[in-house]
Amino acid sequence: MSLDFTSSEMMSVTAARALTNGMTCFVGIGLPSEAANLARLTHAPDITLIYESGTLETKPDILPLSIGDGELCESALTTVSVPEMFRYWLQGGHISVGFLGTAQIDRYANLNTTLIGDYRAPKVRLPGGGGAPEIATNAKEVFITVRHSRRTFVKDVDFLTTVGFGRDGKARDNVPNIGRGPTIVITDLCILKPDPETKELVVHLLHPNVSREDVINATGWEVRFADTLETTPAPTTAELKVLRRLKARTTAHHASQH
Amino acid sequence: MAEFLSLREAVSKYINDGDTVAMEGFTHLIPFAAGHEVIRQKKRNLTLIRMTPDLVYDQMIGAGCAKKLMFSWGGNPGVGSLHRLRDALENGWPNSIEILEHSHAAMACAYDAGAAGLPLAVLRGYVGSDLPKVNDQIKFIECPFTGERLAAVRSVRPDVTVIHAQRADRKGNVLIEGIIGIQKEAVLAAKRSIVTVEEIVDDLNAGVNACVLPSWAITAVVEAPKGASPSYALGYYDRNNAFYKEWDSIARERDTFQAWLKKNVFEKGAA
C-alpha cells in the first residue's frame, strides 16, 4: 500500500469502477458526476452519460458545477427538452443506471434529500427530490455514492424522498415496470449491497486501511457484514492521475470565470 | 402578435400582485433581469412556480415577493442551500411561505399537460415516496387499459410565464437554443407570457426543427441584453459560476443579502 490517496479519491475511483462501457447512465450532480466522468476518462470511454437538463451523450472536459452548465450541452450528441428527458428517455426505459448522491440514506437504501425534522417545521430544509424519485424507479438499477457518517447513514430516513426498498424492504415487490433499485452503495469507507432477501444494506468490501469499527461507528444502525468480507482494491496510479487532472482542470476553469 | 415593451412596462402591465408566476429556465437562460424588475416593482403575494428555484427565486423570496412556492429542486446547484428560501421556510423571514413540492418528472409532466390544455398529467412516478403525503396535487389512478397504478398530478397553468431566450426577430418570433428545459411548455401553459431576449435581429437563422415560439403565442417581447446573467445564454456568455459560489455567503445573512439587494437591484434601473 505504497500509494498515497485520500478517502475521497478512494470513493470516487471505486464508484467509477462500478460503471462499465455500454451502460447508459443518468448522472446526478456532485460525487456521481465526478465518478461517472472519471469512468469515461479511464476504463469506460464509451459509456453514455445523460444529465437531467436534457443533454444526451455528453463528454465534458471539466466537471460541471450545475447539471446545466454550457459545457454539458456543447459536448453532447444532442440536447432534448426536460419533459422529453424524463418521459421518453428515463420513463421510456432507456437508462440502465441511475447514479445518485443523497443527504440521508437508511438501512433499506431509501434516500432523503427533502428535510431533517418535521415537514411543516423543518429543522434543516434540503433542496428536495429533483430527478431522483423517478430515476430510482425507472432506471434499470441504481448506484449510490455518499460519504459515510452517522448523520448520513440513519436507521430510518426522516422523510422518504426517493425509494430504495421502502420502510419495510418490500416497496418494489409486485410493482410492475419498476427497476431493481439500489444494487450498490459506495462510500469513503466501504461498499454495501442490499441483502437479496431482506434488502437491508450489508457491508461487502472495506476500503484499504478501514476497519469494521470505523464502519460501525459511522453507521446509525447495527450494520451487518458479509460472511466473506473483502478489501476494495486501492486506486491505481493511472486512475489517481486522471482524477487529479480532472479536478485541477475543473478548479482552474471555474476560478477563471468572471 | 407579441407587443414589444420595455422590461419595466412588461412587468408592470402583465404581472399583478397575487398572480401565479412561472419564471423558467432549467439551469440555463434564467430570467434574472425580469426577476429583478419584479423585486423593484415590489410585486407581492405571488405564487412562484419554477422547477429549480435557483438564485433568482432566492432573491425574490428574500425580497418578500412570494407567498407560495411550487418547485421540484430548491438549491444552489453544486454549491449548497438557498439560504433565503431556507430562512423563509425555517424562520418565516421576511414572511412565511407555503410550499408545494414535486419531483422533476412530475413537474415537467405538469407543465406539459398545461401546454396541452389538460387538467392533469399521468406518469409512472412517486412509487414509495413520502411526497404524495405532503402535496395534495399528487394522486394515484388506475390505468383503464392495463390496471397499472400510475401517479396523476394537477397540470400547471400559470397566470404569467416569464422566460429568457437568445433572440427575437422584428415580428417577435423567438428562438431558444441549447438547454431548452421547460420553457416552451411553460409559455404555452400560461395565460400570458413575457419573453426577454439577448437581442432583436432581422432574421432568426433558425434551423427547420429549432425551438421557435411564434410571435402570436407570446404576449410581450423585451430586449434585455445579459438578461440571464449570472446564469448563461448559450452563444452569448458563460454561466458565472464564481458568482453562484459567492451567493452562498451573500445570502447566508439577512444583512449582507439586503445590502446586496439594495446595491444590485433597487439602485439599478431596468435595462
Asked if A110 is an interface residue toward chain B (Cβ–Cβ < 8 A), one would say: yes
Q: Which of residues 161-190 of A touch B (CB under 8 A)?
A: 161-163, 166, 171-172, 175-178
Q: How confident is the model at residue B114 (pLDDT cuts 50, 70, 90)?
A: very high
Question: What are the residue boundaries of the structural domains of chain B, listed by start?
Answer: 3-100+157-244, 104-154
Average pLDDT over residues A209-226: 98
Give the whole-angstrom CA distance, residue B131 versus residue A240.
40
Indicate yes or no: CB of A258 within 8 angstroms of CB of B240: yes
Average pLDDT over residues A81-110: 98
Residues of chain B neighbouring A258 (CB-CB closer than 8 A): 230, 238, 240, 242-243
**Secondary structure (DSSP) of B121-170:** EEES--TT-SHHHH-TTEEEEE-TTT--EEEEEEPP--SEEEEEEEEEET
Nearest to B103 among A125, A131, A178 (CB): A131
Identify the pLDDT of residue A29: 81
Give the whole-angstrom CA distance, residue A10 versus residue A240.
9
Q: A9, A52, A134, A239: which is the annotated catalytic residue?
A: A52
Average pLDDT over residues B38-56: 97
Check if the beta carbon of residue B166 is closer than 8 Å to that of residue B221: no
For B3-100+157-244, which CATH superfamily applies?
Answer: Glutaconate Coenzyme A-transferase (3.40.1080.10)
Dig out the grid coordinates for B195 from the structure. Answer: 419573453
Q: How confident is the model at residue A28 (pLDDT cuts 50, 70, 90)?
A: confident
State which amino acid sits at residue B263.
Answer: K
Nearest to A134 among B71, B77, B105 (CB): B105
Dig out the grid coordinates for B8 from the structure. Answer: 419595466
Indicate yes or no: CB of B182 within 8 angstroms of CB of A81: yes
Out of 3.40.640.10, 1.10.10.10, 3.30.70.2860, 3.40.1080.10, the CATH code matching A7-256 is 3.40.1080.10
Q: How confident is the model at residue A258 (pLDDT cuts 50, 70, 90)?
A: low
State percent of chain B over pLDDT 90: 97
CA distances from B29 to A36, A99, B95 (A): 26, 26, 28
How many residues would you count in chain B? 271
Q: How confident is the model at residue A1 (pLDDT cuts 50, 70, 90)?
A: very low
Indicate yes or no: CB of A90 within 8 angstroms of CB of B128: no
Lowest mean pLDDT among A69-78, B123-132, B221-230: A69-78
Identify the pLDDT of residue B192: 98
The residues facing A111 across adjacent strands are: A105, A162
State percent of chain B over pLDDT 70: 99
Asked if A100 is an interface residue toward chain B (Cβ–Cβ < 8 A), one would say: no
pLDDT in tens, A135-144: 999 999 999 9
Q: Which residue of chain B has the CA closest to A124?
A: B90
Identify the pLDDT of residue A257: 65
Neighbours of A83 (CB within 10 A): 24
Q: Across all residues in chain B, what is the average pLDDT? A: 97
* Contacts of residue A227, Cβ cutoff 8 Å, sequence gap at least 6: none
Average pLDDT over residues B169-186: 98
Q: Across all residues in chain A, what is the average pLDDT? A: 95
Distance from CA of A29 to the nearest CA of B (A): 7
Q: How confident is the model at residue B271 (pLDDT cuts 50, 70, 90)?
A: low
